[in-house]
A and B are shown apart, each in its own frame.
Chain A
Amino acid sequence: MSKIIELKNVNKWFDKFQALKDVSLEVNQQEKIVICGPSGSGKSTLIRCINRLEEHQQGQIIVDGKEISENTKDIEKIRAEVGMVFQQFNLFPHLSILDNCTLAPIWVKKLPKKQAEEIAMKNLERVQIADQAKKFPGQLSGGQQQRCALARALCMEPKIMLFDEPTSALDPEMIKEVLDAMVDLAKAGMTMIVVTHEMGFAKEVADNMIFMDEGKIVEKAKTKDFFDNPKSERTKLFLSQIL
């Protein structure tokens, strides 16, 4: 398996506060990684650096063979290959569900409208909200909105998917429908990096687990080892609190 994302000694500061400390990470194609850790530990910042929604100050981030830095001319091209799902869904409220899904394929990938709509419907069906295509985001439940956000990202046919706490803003009974869609996606072979506290999902899907605290990767291990046999005391404490 070949590397698709590589982080080498990445450091990131918000003013004086250091959010990432010497983070190094390699992600292979089709690998699924779940990142967990207490709030403020830098999990979100880490994945947001991968598509440069946040800028890192030191170190290297290489995505699909291209290094991301302030000199990157085609950051849009890299972002088009890296899908992202946000905690707050961030659907475009002025567009219908279908238009949310076709907008970027039409304007960024320059697909003809008809083809974009076909892809959109296929992906909406995949997350089981094809019947809501004509509605606006404000008319949907949180779970439906998040599945639409997932479909929107998939319509760009990305190589990598990033999930930034996708279920944290949802009512408990809607979490499952979103997780099901994500499991389905994982089984289809997508490369995924997921920041989440849903340990059930992690156990089912993840190849590797990462535990972060205070901007550092404290522990990285195979999923089974991570849960059965965590090495660091900090991880043990964290797991004992959320499991």
Chain B
Amino acid sequence: MNLNLLKPNKENLNTFVTTGSTLILVGFFDFFTSTFLDLNFTRFLPGGLSFLTPIILGVIGLHLIRIEFSGNRLLDKINTNFNSSNFNAFLSLLVIFALIKYIPSILNWFIFDADFAGNTKQDCTSGGACWVFVKVWLNRFVYGMYPDAEQWRINTSFFMLFALVGASFFTPANLKKYLLIFLLFIYPTIGFKLISGGDFGLKFIETGAWGGLSLTFIVSAFALILCFPIGMFLALGRRSKLPAIRYSSIGFIELWRGVPLITVLFMSAVMFPMFLPDGTYVDKLIRVLVAITLFEAAYMAEVIRGGLQALPKGQYEAAKSLGMGYWRMHFLIVLPQALKLVIPGIANTFLALVKDTPLIFVVGLLELAGMVNLAKTNPEWLGMAMEGYVFAGLVFWVICYAMSRYSQNLEKKLSTER
């Protein structure tokens, strides 16, 4: 037998694999007992060494089973994916141990030790998360201070939106553009009127009462829809040959990009009214919407400009040589391609926009995160910040992840390089 322990070889495959796996198993066993059963078999070793035994045993074991082209598929798979070198073996073990150690405690906090039943803080006794807080406040988190009796109006307008968007997937192509026009221009007015009221026998509800997740949606949706075309024209303007248009676009973009959003919102709330003649009043929410829209439009413009510049010059020349003027060239040839190129960037800006909406708290509007912030200061619910923010974080993550998946789908769908 030719056994060189430093160089595992194929001839003695079984010996190496048996020894290696035993060592790894012992390492894992030691780790499990010391983590979950409070039994440390290696206590006789000096402190630090005893703590590291599982990893040391594991790395030696993994070294012994690292045999190329062993013929055993499972072994080969482990070796290529987790165990390609001693350092990688070490990292793999570290990650696996960390997951085993921390996932149970996180799950415990989230689910197994969490409280779901009850209606007051006193019902939360088991030490985990107090989801009672979210349950009790859910209505406020979704609708803000909107009166309970009128909430059907918000529900109706959102239901309408989802129905329309859903319908757009099934309408034939020739009717699609009418649906799109309705969605972009007519629906927002109807939805806005339905929620704000004041006419048709609907009670007027001032925007200060709007809030929660529904306000997050309203602000993001309006800003998303409006900032896109503005950004597009700014991008074209920045590349225009006419100096007046070019420099005003550059000025606009650089001005808005250079100012923090929170400042912009603050100005829109505090300074903007000072410039208005006495007696005129622009609603707080409208001012905020305009501010966010213009702010994001500046970013959108730069993203789109990136796409315009990435397009080969030949595309412009081909369009020109066919007799297309500026607008036809841009809307038929240039923008469809440029926008497709920058879908990841556009999605990026949209996600950032959605996550910027909590900043409207500076003008006293409370969307989801703002409502959480408010609820956690309620004397009966002190100390619930963690649950509230985790909940808000999860909701934002779901929204953003959905948007991100949609943008990836769109990219695939529009790809013509099959």
Check if B337 sits within 8 Å of A136, measured CB to CB: no
Contact A93 B321 (CB under 8 A): no
Known A-B contacts A86-B314, A90-B314; A138 and B320 likewise in contact (beta carbons under 8 Å): no
Q: How far apart are A15's CB and chain B's nearest CB, in angstroms?
A: 18
**Does A108 contact B324, Cβ atoms closer than 8 Å?**
yes
| Best-buried of B320, B323, B332 by chain A (most CB within 10 Å) | B323
Q: Which of A77, A80, A93, A152 has the most CB of B within 10 A?
A: A93
B323 touches A53 (CB 8 A): no
Q: Which residues of B contact A137 (CB under 8 A)?
A: 416
Does any Cβ of A come within 8 Å of B418's Cβ? Answer: yes
The reply to whether A92 and B333 contact each other, CB–CB distance below 8 Å, is: yes
Tell whether A196 is near chain B: CB-to-CB under 8 Å. Answer: no
- Nearest opposing residue in chain A for B325, CB measure: A76
Identify A104's interface contact among B312, B323, B414, B417, CB under 8 A: B323
Given the interface pairs A93-B416, A136-B418, A138-B416, the reply to whether A53 lies near B314 with Cβ below 8 Å is: no
B330 nearest CB across to chain A (Å): 12
- The size of the chain A interface, using a CB distance under 8 A, is 30
Cross-chain contact A94 with B416 (CB below 8 angstroms): yes
Residues of B307-327 whose CB lies within 8 A of A: 312, 314-315, 317-325
Q: Using Cβ atoms and an 8 Å threshold, which residues of chain B touch A90? A: 312, 314-315, 317-318
**A45 in the interface (beta carbon within 8 A):** no
Q: Which residues of A contact B317 (CB under 8 A)?
A: 53, 84, 86, 90
Q: Which residues of A contact B314 (CB under 8 A)?
A: 86, 88, 90
Least CB distance, B158 to chain A, in whole angstroms: 34
> When A88-B314, A107-B332 are in contact, do A53 and B320 touch as well, CB less than 8 Å?
yes
Given contacts A86-B314, A88-B314, A90-B314, contact A108 B322 (CB under 8 A): yes
Interface size on B, residues (CB 8 A): 22
In the complex, A107 Cα to B340 Cα: how many Å? 22
Asked if B176 is at the interface (CB within 8 A of a chain A CB), the reply is no
Measured CA separation A223–B119 after assembly (Å): 98
A156 touches B (CB below 8 Å): yes
Known A-B contacts A92-B315, A94-B336, A94-B340; the reply to A53 vs B417 at CB < 8 A is no
> Smallest CB–CB gap between B414 and chain A, Å?
8
B338 shortest CB reach to chain A, Å: 10
Pick the contact of A80: B315, B322, B414 (CB < 8 A): B322
Residues of B within 8 Å of A91, CB to CB, are: 318
**Pair B418/A104 contact, Cβ less than 8 Å:** no
Does A153 contact B322, Cβ atoms closer than 8 Å?
yes
Please tell me if A139 contacts chain B, counting CB pairs below 8 Å.
yes
- Provide the residues of chain B in CB contact with A93, threshold 8 Å: 337, 416-417
The residue of chain A having its C-beta at the shortest distance from the C-beta of B318 within the complex is: A90
CA distance A88 to B336 in the complex (A): 20
Q: Closest approach, in angstroms, between the C-beta of B369 and any C-beta of chain A?
A: 39
Residue of B nearest to A92 (CB): B333
Within 8 A of A (CB), among B323-366: 323-325, 328, 332-333, 336-337, 340
| Residues in B neighbouring A107, C-beta threshold 8 A | 324, 328, 332
CB of B323 within 8 A of CB of A108, answer yes
* Whole-angstrom distance between the Cβ of A36 and the nearest chain B Cβ: 22
Of residues 73 through 105 on chain A, the ones whose CB sits less than 8 Å from some CB of chain B are 76-77, 79-84, 86, 88, 90-94, 103-104
A193 to B340, CA, bound (A): 36
A11 within 8 A of B: no
Return chain B residues, CB-CB under 8 Å to A108.
322-324, 328
| Chain B 394-418 per-residue mask, 1 if CB under 8 angstroms from chain A, else 0 | 0000000000000000000010111
How many angstroms from the CA of A107 to the CA of B317 in the assembled complex? 17
Q: Mark B119-139, 1 if CB is under 8 A from A, else 0.
A: 000000000000000000000
Docked complex Cα distance between A229 and B333 (Å):
47
Expressed in whole angstroms, the minimum distance between the Cβ of A53 and any Cβ of chain B is: 5
Q: Which residue of A is nearest B337, CB measured?
A: A94
How many Å lie between the Cα of A103 and that of B333 in the bound state? Answer: 10
Please give the distance in Å from B229's CB to the nearest CB on chain A. 20
Cβ of A51 within 8 Å of any chain B Cβ, yes or no, is yes
CB neighbours of A136 from chain B (8 A) = 416-418
Chain A residues contacting B322 (CB-CB under 8 Å) are: 79-80, 103-104, 108, 152-153, 156
* CB pair B318 A83 closer than 8 Å: no
Alpha-carbon separation in the docked complex, A76 to B318 (Å): 12
Residue with the greatest number of chain A CB neighbours at <10 A, chosen from B321, B325, B337, B414: B321
Residue of A nearest to B321 (CB): A84
Q: Please tell me if the beta carbons of B320 and A79 are within 8 angstroms of each other in the complex.
A: yes
B180 CB to closest chain A CB, in angstroms?
Answer: 19
Shortest CB distance A165–B (Å): 13
Known: A93-B337, A103-B332, A138-B417. A76 touches B315 (CB 8 A): no
Question: Which positions in B face A, CB cutoff 8 Å?
Answer: 312, 314-315, 317-325, 328, 332-333, 336-337, 340, 414, 416-418
Q: A94-B416, A104-B323 are in contact. List 19 more A-B contacts (CB 8 A).
A: A51-B321, A76-B324, A77-B323, A79-B322, A82-B321, A84-B317, A84-B321, A86-B321, A90-B312, A92-B319, A103-B332, A107-B332, A108-B322, A108-B323, A108-B324, A136-B416, A136-B418, A138-B416, A138-B418
27 contacts between A and B (CB under 8 A): A53-B317, A76-B324, A77-B323, A79-B320, A79-B322, A79-B323, A80-B323, A82-B321, A84-B317, A86-B318, A90-B312, A90-B317, A90-B318, A91-B318, A92-B319, A93-B416, A94-B337, A104-B322, A104-B324, A107-B332, A108-B328, A136-B416, A137-B416, A138-B418, A139-B418, A153-B322, A156-B322
Which residues of A come within 8 Å of B, CB atoms?
A: 51, 53, 76-77, 79-84, 86, 88, 90-94, 103-104, 107-109, 136-139, 149, 152-153, 156
